[in-house]
Structure 1
Amino acid sequence: MVRLTRAQQQARTRASVLAAAADEFTEHGYAAAKVDRIAERADLTRGAVYSNFPGKRALYLAVLLDLVGRDGGAPAEEPPASAADALAAFARTWLDRLPLMDDSAGRLRLRSLDGVLDHGRVLASLARLEALLLATALEKTGPGRRVRLAELVLTLLDGATHRAETAPGSGDPFDVVQACRHLAGIDLADTWAPPHLPFVAPARTCADAWSPPEEPVDEITGAAGAADGLVVVLGAHRLGAAEEAVRSAAPGEQVTIAVVTGDREETGRLVRLRLTDLLTCLRRVFTPEAWRHVRLVLDDDARIAAAIGLADPDDETEAAVRVRDGLVIARAEGRGAGHAAGSARTGATS
């Protein structure tokens, strides 16, 4: 008989709980699901379930994350020829997950959060970061800012997803794809001029040693994150400030966006779920070159935050450093930190 290590036993228990929870949520939905029944399905005690997940919400989010992790799809082999082609392909990829009318796991396939949690502020913040990630790729297909276009497309696709949940079978996905294609031709007069940026305090210059944590993974490409360049740490309520860092960085400079949360089990899982889901779609349409100078790290353990000197980051955190040749040469904290550090011109950028 093979004796399992403690880590192997924990992994087996966790897998059993996730499988049982997926069945429970599929059969009863989130609201009517019971932790006691999940434990019974997994042939475990209620305590064993809670030893792995602090509550039903965290468990539901973990089930959705597990589902997203198995929905990788084939990555794009070449960049789209135009913004219109890119948006049509992105819409098709997004809509592929819509369930059939008789799909018993439809709510899970839709990543439904209706009635699960009240994180409106986090979701609004995430929406701005999601639009930036899509826009960054779209901007490689032509000149000009494309954030408003990205916001419009994501709004349309979110609406199609909500309709699939509340009125399954209604609407034509092909019409949605065509609408997204045509949105690329709309002139939204998109400009970048936030009114508060001229009033942001300048970054502090310095020459501090830079010791980034080992192997922070870029969620976009899988490469190592936190290289030389601009490193901005943003809490779950401040993700919209990522664009300030991206737009303020010097041409060609690497921008690393590190996301931290004050509640890893729920807010952290929500952030990871939404971003993983979006990036899965984006990678099937755009090649990694689309985000050549942007990296995204989900800093669950706040290791990057600690590396830049933040002792206790939370959902309101906004801080940034500029790194060159192994030294931190500029620091900023508070609103506009990414802009301040990115705008700090302390010599030629390599």
Structure 2
Amino acid sequence: MTDALPRKRLTRAQAKARTRSLLLDAAARTFARKGFAGASVEEIAETAGFSVGAVYSNFKNKDELFVALLSERAHDRVVRAAEILDGEAADADDPAAALGRLLTEVADKDSEFAPLQAEFWLYAIRKPQAMDVLAAQSEQTREALARVIEHRVSEAEVSLTVPSARMSTIVLALFQGLVTQRRTDPDSVPDDLFGQAVRWLFAGAVTESSQEPDGAPAGE
């Protein structure tokens, strides 16, 4: 009987990325159970199967670990939005409708994370260092969204009357505000509202009135 083939050893970078991913997964589960204030670095490390030192070798503190979770979720949503606008997503036949579904999925299916976000926001208000970390994460999200907008506008061969950085700030604020409103009063934010709002926003921000074949405004 021949021996099984030996497993391929991970590179140092791959091992570090795997450790970070496992720590983030453990942190998400621990925060969901205990809340931000109640969760400890020690418990997160134990849940992930690592030492406390492994946490601190990847994150400066619990604040940075939590914000990394926020960043991961925000990145996934920006990627999904980019796929929708580029027509690569499975549900992107109607970009406006697909964007609306993205918002309702976040509002309706990611509700357990909402209290954690609110808890951290209140915590950060009282701790400037935490707010700085949160601001840096938000900036990364806005920059990623701005690149998506710039690409879309370039593909449509139109120009915006405002900088893409400002437009990304408005789109992100619109998304976050409608998510909060839908969680508060679902009937006030129908599934298609976000996509319609993005249409209206870009219709007033492009220098040409031409629209794409699918009816979505250029630059959406």
1:155 paired to 2:173: yes
The answer to whether the aligner puts 1:57 opposite 2:63 as a matched pair is yes
Equivalence for 1:138 = 153
Q: What is the number of residues matched between the two proteins?
A: 183
The structure that is strand-richer by fraction is: 1
Measure the CA separation in 2 of the matches of 1:13 and 1:189.
45
Would the aligned equivalents of 1:100 and 1:106 in 2 still touch at CA under 8 Å? no
CA gap 1:98/1:150 in 2 versus in 1, 3 angstroms:
same
Could you tell me how far apart the structure 1 residues matched to 2:106 and 2:50 are? Answer: 33
Structure 1 position 21, deviation (Å): 0.8
Alignment TM-score, normalising by the size of structure 2: 0.56
Aligned equivalent of 1:319: none
For structure 2, the 5+ residue unaligned runs are: 89-93, 125-129, 208-215
More helix by share: 2
Write out aligned runs for 1:69-148 (5 A).
Answer: 73=80, 75=83, 88-89=96-97, 91-92=99-100, 94-100=102-108, 103-106=111-114, 114=121, 115-116=123-124, 117-119=130-132, 122=136, 123=138, 127=142, 130-131=145-146, 133-134=148-149, 137-138=152-153, 140-141=155-156, 143-147=158-162
Whether the 8 Å CA contact 1:138–1:146 is kept in 2: the answer is: no
Match in the other structure for 1:21: 27
Are the structure 2 counterparts of residues 90 and 9 from structure 1 closer, same or farther at C-alpha, using a change threshold of 3 Å?
closer
User: How far 1:158 sits from its partner (Å)?
Assistant: 2.8
Give the CA RMSD over aligned residues.
4.6
Q: TM-score, normalised by structure 1?
A: 0.39
Give the greater-gyration-radius structure (CA): 1
Q: Which residue of 181, 184, 195 maps to 2:199?
A: 181
Shift in alpha-carbon separation, 1:144–1:159, aligned structure 2, 3 A: same
Matched-pair contact (CA < 8 Å) for 2:30–2:39: yes
State the identity as a percent.
Answer: 26
Gaps of 5+ in 1: 80-84, 191-285, 291-350
Q: Using the alignment, how far apart are the partners of 1:183 and 1:131 within structure 2?
A: 15
Residue 33 of structure 1 aligns with which residue?
39
Distance 1:180 1:136 in 2: 16
- 68-77 vs 135-144, greater mean Cα deviation: 68-77
- 1:117-165 CA deviation, whole Å, 9 max, x = no partner? 3138654797477447425523644644243793544432232134356
How far, CA to CA, are the matches of 1:189 and 1:180 in structure 2?
A: 12
Once residues 130 and 102 of structure 1 are traced to their aligned partners in structure 2, the CA distance between those partners, rounded to angstroms, is 20
Report matched runs for 1:1-350 at 5 Å: 7=12, 10-67=16-73, 73=80, 75=83, 88-89=96-97, 91-92=99-100, 94-100=102-108, 103-106=111-114, 114=121, 115-116=123-124, 117-119=130-132, 122=136, 123=138, 127=142, 130-131=145-146, 133-134=148-149, 137-138=152-153, 140-141=155-156, 143-147=158-162, 150=167, 152-164=170-182, 167=184, 169=186, 171-172=188-189, 173-186=191-204
User: Conserved in 2, the CA contact under 8 Å of 1:18 and 1:59?
Assistant: yes
Q: CA deviation at 1:168?
A: 6.7
